[in-house]
């Protein structure tokens, strides 16, 4: 728990600046207390737009969130998981750029600091993952090893 003293006119600016800069969730300003937690992954502007577009096109209900995680397999040993799902036991919930994200606690050590992007070009189309924890990745970019 942190103690924060801010003049009232600066609260809106502070909330917007902190949320956009550090992708914080559960930011509550009540008198003098701020409770924060850092999201383990980030999304580029293109990824955010595409995720909202997919959610609207597929008419995904509000009780679903975006599952970000890893799964054993793939040509490099582990594969990325990215898809809409309901919250499961062991999940942590984050709000990242307005998107509800579910991630199993055990997956965070593999994905901490990862950035998800959307590519919409002639040579490639789809989500890409820039993972600082990956020692090697496969040619398709959906599999990695640590």
Task: Give pTM, 2 decimals.
Answer: 0.68
**Within a domain: residue 3?**
no
**CATH number, residue 63:** 2.60.300.12
**Within a domain: residue 48?**
yes
**What residue numbers bound the domain in which 68 lies?**
41-130
**Within a domain: residue 143?**
no
Q: Please determine, for residue 33, whether its predicted confidence score (pLDDT) is greater than 60.
A: no
**Within a domain: residue 68?**
yes
**Within a domain: residue 136?**
no
Q: Please determine, for residue 9, whether its predicted confidence score (pLDDT) is greater than 90.
A: no
Q: Please determine, for residue 8, whether its predicted confidence score (pLDDT) is greater than 50.
A: no
Looking at residue 29, its pLDDT comes to: 35
**Within a domain: residue 14?**
no
Q: Which residues of 68-80 are buried (b: 16+ CB within 10 A; e: fewer)?
A: bbbeeebebbbbb
**Within a domain: residue 146?**
no
Quote the percentage of the chain above a pLDDT of 90. 45
Tokens linked to 132: 């600082």
Number of domains composing the chain? 1
Looking at residue 47, its pLDDT comes to: 97
Tokens linked to 8: 């009232």
Q: Is the dihedral of CA 129, 37, 20, 89 positive or negative?
A: positive
Comparison of pLDDT for 10 and 116, the residue scoring more = 116
Average pLDDT along the chain: 75
């Amino acid at each position: 728990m942190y103690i924060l003293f801010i003049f009232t006119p600066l609260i809106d600016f502070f909330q917007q600046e902190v949320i956009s800069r550090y992708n914080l969730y559960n930011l509550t300003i009540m008198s003098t207390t701020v409770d924060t937690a850092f999201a383990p992954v980030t999304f580029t502007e293109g990824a955010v737009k595409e995720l909202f577009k997919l959610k609207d096109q597929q008419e995904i209900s509000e009780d679903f969130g975006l599952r970000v995680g890893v799964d054993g397999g793939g040509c490099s040993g582990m594969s990325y998981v990215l898809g809409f799902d309901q919250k499961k036991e062991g999940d942590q919930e984050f709000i990242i750029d307005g998107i509800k994200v579910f991630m199993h606690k055990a997956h965070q050590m593999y994905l901490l600091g990862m950035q998800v992007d959307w590519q919409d070009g002639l040579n490639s189309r789809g989500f890409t993952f820039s993972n600082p924890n990956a020692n090697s990745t496969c040619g398709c970019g959906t599999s990695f090893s640590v």
